[in-house]
A and B are shown apart, each in its own frame.
Chain A
């Protein structure tokens, strides 16, 4: 079964979404990620969507939900690498992803999480 890999970097987890999202995959990702946050005692999660050219309301909601779940487990989520066209589409759809921090790229995202934890 296909899975989205979760990489560990110190106390941060990096999720890179490169394939089309669908229900099952989203559920699996949320399962995996929550377990990993607990088992790795992670304090931050980076979701990298730089490879996505299209982000629809489904993925948008999935990201918001995942961030909310991580927050309950005391891990901060940063969404990184959004393409300009994707940002415009999301805003036009009215999905501004309130409650999710954003950063330009993974490097910036890591900085943001490190600054937040100290």
Chain B
């Protein structure tokens, strides 16, 4: 397992390798001025680290201690790429593009020894495959983190409970209700009932795209929990199609007050809490 030739070739031909690498890379990636300088800089950091790691160990298992620097740099690069919206292919190409110029140098250096050439090529190929896969792996993880963070933000953003009037709360639901969201909606609603002492909560489902049996069950759970806290619920914003779906599914909403619009629900809520709305003829 002798890869010291590889290390030697890399350190001796660094600038030439860099040029070949960059040419190859730019033919594969979207070119824009901002990233060109950045790419070049990252590549310049990468080559010495790679050579150093190859000198330090003959082992090409990149999980090892000797490869820590290389891994760190690649991880940083991949994470930045993932956040900047590069595709996985573009990210992996950073490593893979180095293969071709490096193999050219290998074959020039070891042209008189075909046996060694094929061995070294094989080793280098395995090494670069591993580095490439590592890059994609980190890229994938970074993307997953982004998605998770967005989901969390969505959860927090989409469950506000607002006070419409003394003793009247409104809960405008937007998006599909799954059990995780129901839990948060329920907690927010109940806490707000405690804080404001509300008697009536209006759950507006105008923004809920579909109501299936599961969503209906979640709604009924929320209503039951609010009732245990001494608050009545009104469901509003039921679109015609949803009314049809509810009946076709056989969901029982008979014990719940339902209104077509939030305005209607609000009027009922005011009546129940002993307030009235009056219109005065004014001259404006």
- Evaluate contact between B197 and A88: CB separation under 8 angstroms: no
Q: Return the CB mask of A18-62 against B: 1 if under 8 Å, else 0.
A: 000000000000000000000000000000000000000000000
Complex: chain B residue closest to A101, CB-CB = B230
Which residues of chain A have C-beta atoms less than 8 A from B191's C-beta?
84
| Docked complex Cα distance between A25 and B263 (Å) | 49
> A22 to B13, alpha carbons, bound, how many Å?
83
Contact call A88/B186, Cβ cutoff below 8 A: yes
Chain B residues near A102: list those with CB within 8 A. 227-230
Once the chains bind, are A96 and B224 in contact (CB under 8 Å)? yes
As a 0/1 sequence over residues 67 to 97 of chain A, the CB contacts with chain B under 8 angstroms (1 = contact) are 0000000000001101010111011100011
Residue A17 at the B interface, CB < 8 A? no
Instruction: Please give, as numbers and ranges, the residues of chain B lying within 8 Å of A79 by CB-CB distance.
Output: 228
Give the CA-CA distance A43 to B191 in the complex, in Å.
Answer: 31
Considering the chains assembled together, what is the distance between the CA atoms of A71 and B257 in angstroms? 26
Q: A104-B194, A108-B197 are in contact. Are A82 and B229 (CB under 8 A)?
A: yes
8 Å CB contact of A82 from B186, B187, B199, B228: B228
Contact between chains at A91 and B194 (CB < 8 Å)? no
- CB of A103 closer than 8 Å to a CB of B: yes
| A residues near B199, Cβ cutoff 8 Å | 104, 108
B window 207-239: CB within 8 A of A: 221, 224-231
CB of B227 within 8 A of CB of A96, answer yes
B225 touches A91 (CB 8 A): yes
Chain B interface bracket (under 10, 10 to 19, 20 to 34, 35 or more)? 10 to 19
Do A84 and B224 touch across chains, with their CB atoms under 8 A apart?
no
B169 within 8 A of A: no
- Distance, CA A112 to CA B229, complexed state (A): 13
In this complex, the member of B197, B228, B229 whose beta carbon has the largest number of chain A beta carbons within 10 angstroms is B228
A92–B157 alpha-carbon span in the complex (Å): 25
For A80, list chain B residues within 8 Å (CB).
Answer: 230
Contact B228 A96 (CB under 8 A): yes
Q: Which residues of chain B come closer than 8 Å to A90, judged between CB atoms?
A: 225, 228
Contact B187 A104 (CB under 8 A): no
Contact A84 B194 (CB under 8 A): yes
Q: Which of B187, B193, B194, B227 contacts A88 (CB 8 A)?
A: B187
Within 8 A of A (CB), among B161-219: 183, 186-187, 190-191, 193-194, 197, 199
A84 cross-chain contacts in B, Cβ below 8 A: 187, 190-191, 193-194, 225, 229
For B229, list chain A residues within 8 Å (CB): 82, 84, 87, 102, 104
**Other-chain residue from A91, A97, A103, A109 in contact with B221 (beta carbon distance below 8 A):** A91
Q: Give complex CA distance A80, B226 in Å.
A: 12
Q: A104–B224 contact, CB under 8 A?
A: no
Most chain B Cβ neighbours within 10 Å, of A82, A84, A86: A84
Please report the C-alpha to C-alpha distance between residue A6 and residue B227 in the assembled complex, in whole angstroms. Answer: 25
Residues of A within 8 A of B183 (CB): 88
What are 7 pairs between A and B in contact, CB < 8 Å? A82-B228, A84-B191, A84-B229, A88-B190, A91-B225, A104-B194, A105-B197
Residues in chain A within 8 A of chain B (CB atoms): 79-80, 82, 84, 86-88, 90-92, 96-97, 102-105, 108-109, 112
* Other contacts beyond A88-B187, A91-B186, A108-B197: 14, CB < 8 A: A79-B228, A84-B191, A84-B194, A84-B225, A86-B228, A87-B228, A90-B225, A91-B225, A96-B228, A104-B194, A104-B197, A104-B199, A104-B229, A108-B199
Give 3 closest A-B pairs by Cβ, nearest first: A84-B190, A103-B230, A87-B228
